[in-house]
Amino acid sequence: MKTKYVLFTFLGTIGAALTACEDHQLSPNASFPERINFVAPRQYPEGIAYSAQLDRFIVSSITQGKLGTVDINGNYADLITPPELISSMGVRVADGHILVCNSDQGVSIKSTPQTATKTAELLVFNLNTLQLERRTDLDDLYNSPRHLANDLAIQPDGTVYVTDSFAPVIYKITSTGQASVLVENPLFSSATFGLNGIVYHPNGYLIVAQTGAGKLYKIDLKNNNAISEVDKLPNLPGDGLTLLNQDLYVVTGSGSRVAQVRSTDDWKTASIIKTDEIGYSQATTNVAVNGSVYTLNARIGEIGAAMGNASLLQAKEYSIQKFK
């Protein structure tokens, strides 16, 4: 049985801390190249965010259970290496806090039989002190033999939504830290990876990728969390999602391309208006900075190939690619 911890050490409430926009839209002092190569031994960085405060990208690590930074010149540095973080997945920065999904695919240096494929947590760190301020357990909320917290989206009022790739659920964590299952549906089930990337749309709904089914779904938060498929799209096995100027940028094709997807009817239907296939390899997700989208080439395919033998995961070279 996995040991559970929920930690609260805020001076105030996280609701006050997370009511601002995500800190990844603008960095006026930075001139970004089209491609940033960086070296980080055995990082396997599944998630990416950008902190204007740090003036750096923040990347996660499936194998090391830590967070690191990458500047525009490709210099990598460890940022946070907490013992509680087994395998860091999706990451966001919002108003002085770093939020990260904590999971365990069994290939982390911190993996144990008690936590492997059984972990779904949300960890919140103070961006100034780098201290853990909240640890919210999610996997106990839904009875499933397997769990993997994958990605997260933040609503302006501070509510956080987290996808589980191994259980057919989306979790909800309020601004005061109360966790629950937002929705559970067989549509989200998959024999491989189910729910993956997720974004919050300012019109009051979520858009989520179901990788195994190759579909996008809309969850209408203003209509009793009604679930509907985004129609008229081809098979689109999405990983990470980023919303920029009302268009959705979907990492797809096993990380070999990014599709720009647009809707004219509030995401009842959508179409792919552009695909960028240059410079992507085993990519996972992306982030919007200065009006552009930057995608993380994370060597994600090596994770699946090495299941059961983490010693095979020795890569050190990664990159961040601009959508063109």
- The pLDDT tens digits for 50-68 are 999 999 999 999 999 999 9
Asked if residue 3 has pLDDT above 80, the reply is no
pLDDT confidence of 25, banded at 50, 70, 90? low
Find out whether 85 and 65 touch, Cβ atoms under 8 Å. Answer: yes
**Backbone torsions φ then ψ of 296, nearest 5 degrees:** -95, 115
Q: Is residue 13 part of a domain?
A: no
| Host H or E run for residue 262 | strand 257-262
Tell me, yes or no, whether 254 lies in a domain.
yes
Cα 89 to Cα 151: distance, rounded to the nearest angstrom: 7
Where in the sequence is the domain holding 40, given as residue range(s)?
A: 21-322
Region 15-25: mean pLDDT is 51
pLDDT at residue 30 is higher than 80: no
Instruction: Confirm whether 222 is domain-assigned.
Output: yes
Give a yes or no: residue 45 inside a domain.
yes
CA dist 170 → 59, 61, 71, 95, 153 (Å): 23, 22, 32, 23, 11
- Evaluate if residue 116 carries a pLDDT over 70: yes
Q: For residue 31, give both structure tokens.
A: 């001139």
Q: Indicate whether 2 belongs to any domain.
A: no
**pLDDT-based confidence at residue 132 (cuts at 50, 70, 90):** very high
With tokens 């961006």, the residue in question is: 127
Parallel, antiparallel or unpaired: strands 118-119 and 147-154: parallel
Overall average pLDDT of the 276-296 stretch: 96
DSSP for 49-62 reads EEETTTTEEEE--T
Of residues 7 and 186, more confidently modeled? 186
Q: For the segment 299-311, what is each residue's pLDDT rounded down to a tens digit?
A: 999 998 887 678 8
CATH of the domain at 210: 2.120.10.30
What single-letter DSSP state applies at residue 116?
A: T
Rounded to two decimals, the pTM is 0.93
Are 152 and 164 a contacting pair, CB within 8 Å?
A: no
Total of domains in the chain: 1
User: Is pLDDT of 8 > 60?
Assistant: no
Could you tell me if residue 15 is inside a domain?
no
Residue 104: inside a domain, yes or no?
A: yes
Please report whether residue 298 resides in a domain.
yes
In this prediction, residue 9 carries a pLDDT of 36
In the numeric block, which tokens belong to residue 300?
A: 């994600």
280: nearest Cα among 256, 303, 253, 306? 256
**Per-residue model confidence (pLDDT) at position 251:** 98
